[in-house]
Each structure stands twice: as C-alpha cells, then as structure tokens.
Amino acid sequence: MRNRILAITAAALTAMAVAAVASQASELPVIYNGTLGYAHISSTASPPGANNFSCKPSSAHPRPVILVHGTFADMSDSWQALSPLLYNHGYCVFALNYGSYDGAGSLGIYGTGSVVKSAEELSSFVNSVLSATKASQVDLVGHSQGGMMPRYFLKNLGGAAKVHTLVGLAPSNHGTTLLGLATLAGYFPGAIAFLGILCPACEQQTAGSSFITSLNSGGDTVAGVSYTVIESIYDEVVTPYTSAWLSGSKVNNVNLQSQCILDGGEHLSMPYDHIADADVLTALDPEHPQHPACYPVLPVVGG
C-alpha cells in the first residue's frame, strides 16, 4: 500500500512538473525595447499572441483585450511587448490596423485617416471579436490616438455597452500642439509628408479643434465604462502631458514618475515601458495589482 501511494505521488509530481514546463514553454518573449519593436518586418503582421479568433476567454479573464495603435503607427510596431505580456497572463488578445488614409497603409503608415472613420473601423472589429469569442464585452488598450479615438466609439457609436475598460497610454484626450504631432511624425520615416491634408487625424487632434471640442463636450467619460490613463511627465508629443488626463467618477490617472523616479520614458517608449505595461495589467485586473520593480526606462527605447 505504501509503495502504491509513493508511486501515485511520484506520478502526480511528475505530471505537475511536466505541466509547469509546458506552461513555461508556451510563454512568449516580451520585448521591452522599442528599437526592436519598431524594427518589425511587416506592418500587417499580428503582434505575438494576438488575433487568434478561436481563443475563448477564461473565467479569470472573461473579456478579450483589443490593442489600438496610435498615429503613424501600426499593430506590429506598437505591441511587441504588451501583446505577448497579456497572452502570457492568460488573456485573449487582439489587435488591428486602422486609419489608412489615401493609401497610406500600403506604405505602412496608419492612424492618419479621420478619427470618426477610424472609430467606425474599431466598432466593426469589436463586433468581430465579440462574435468570435462569445464574450459580452471587451477591454480596450490604446496608445496615443489609440487611447483617445475609442472614446468617440464609446460616446457616439454604441460602444459603451460593449466595453468594460478603456486604458490609454499617453492618449491625446484633450488634443496637442502641431509641434507635438510633428515630433511624433519625425520618429516614422516618411510620416512628415502626411501632416496636413494627408493626415485628417492630425488636424483633429490639435488642441481646440472642432473634433476635440465636440468629443469632450458634456464630460470626458460615458456611464458604465472604467477609464485608466497612464502618462509620463516627459511626453513630448501630447503636450502639455496633463492634457492626457480625464476627469470623471470612474477614472484613474496614473503618473509613471510618481511610481518610479528612474522612469525616463516619454511618448514613443510608452508601450515598451515595463512600468506602464504593468499598470495596464492592474487596470484590466484590479483585484490582482502588479508591483513592477523600479529600474531605468529610457526615452524611445523603453525598458
């Protein structure tokens, strides 16, 4: 009897060890380096762990997460860190390209079209994800314009009923300056040429534009949705950085440097900032808050 118990125990321990190894082997590498992330091969390639439309959300994470890139960017260059990080934590992850204006997408430049049309593209994508996963709601995580544009979807396209949480990484919620947009364009080869008439979203994101004024009229938020804004005091694109903040009863504005004085990250590095990405995990699952280590994060590069 004793030998049988030992044999069963040994078999169970072996099974647990094999399962642990299999779990570790299934994890994807998380690249906290924007210079590598932005050196992607194809702008239309799904980021690691994303866009498996056969993925079924777990009871621990019942809502799929949709990642929304910013102006001039694409889903591949933006999410080489956050997409695999979410996947490794058990989320169904999805990402899209949007806002290809006048053929700019063929050049790998997205997020330049009208914010209204981009919100309509997001709405369609959300419907596809909900249909595939059978979930009742999604969570949205967006960088720059990708954190602001979904607010139009929530306010004007019926998105509030389909979204539980919106997380914005340096979102252009209250607009920015033309200089800030030019700074952003300088990071993307060829993007400078798209400022002006080739980038309706650029004009719409300038502070005081009719679009921004309308978006924020009546309040920053809509009922039923939780909002988190994650921002750096060193943001050189969304200027001043405080224009990213939202006000409302279900809003959490998070300052990176208040968590770690060594975080020198700015606008472009935000998706590759280990502290910002940990804050995303906390925003999506507040009952299991993350406590990232405080070590240096570099401008543009991240870390």
pLDDT per residue as tens digits for the range 159-173:
999 999 999 999 999
Backbone dihedral angles phi then psi of residue 235, each to the nearest 5 degrees: -60, 120
pLDDT greater than 70 at residue 13: no
Task: Judge contact between 119 and 86, C-beta under 8 A.
Answer: no
Task: Judge contact between 227 and 245, C-beta under 8 A.
Answer: no
- Extents of the domains making up the chain: 31-284
Can you give the pLDDT at residue 196? 65
pLDDT greater than 60 at residue 31: yes
CA distances from 135 to 27, 68, 83, 163, 194 (A): 24, 19, 19, 11, 37
Q: Which residues contact 16 (CB under 8 A, 6 or more apart)?
A: none
pLDDT-derived band at 6 (thresholds 50, 70, 90) equals very low
Can you give the pLDDT at residue 38? 67
Task: Judge contact between 127 and 137, C-beta under 8 A.
Answer: no
Architecture of the domain delimited by 31-284: 3-Layer(aba) Sandwich (3.40)
pLDDT greater than 90 at residue 5: no
pLDDT-derived band at 3 (thresholds 50, 70, 90) equals very low
Can you give the pLDDT at residue 1? 33
Mean pLDDT rounded to a whole number for the chain: 88
Can you give the pLDDT at residue 209? 92
Can you give the pLDDT at residue 193? 67
Q: Which residues pair with 206 in a beta bridge?
A: 176
pLDDT-derived band at 19 (thresholds 50, 70, 90) equals very low
pLDDT per residue as tens digits for the range 111-154:
999 999 999 999 999 999 999 999 999 999 999 999 999 999 99
Helices (H), the chain: 2-26, 34-37, 75-78, 82-88, 115-133, 145-156, 178-185, 200-204, 210-216, 256-259, 274-284
pLDDT-derived band at 11 (thresholds 50, 70, 90) equals very low
Can you give the pLDDT at residue 8? 30
pLDDT greater than 70 at residue 106: yes
Task: Judge contact between 111 and 98, C-beta under 8 A.
Answer: yes
Rounded Cα–Cα distance for residues 301 and 263 (Å): 12
pLDDT-derived band at 105 (thresholds 50, 70, 90) equals confident
pLDDT greater than 60 at residue 264: yes
pLDDT-derived band at 41 (thresholds 50, 70, 90) equals low
Closest CA to 116 of 200, 48, 36: 200
Rounded Cα–Cα distance for residues 184 and 197 (Å): 17
Can you give the pLDDT at residue 89? 98
Single-letter amino acid, residue 237 = V
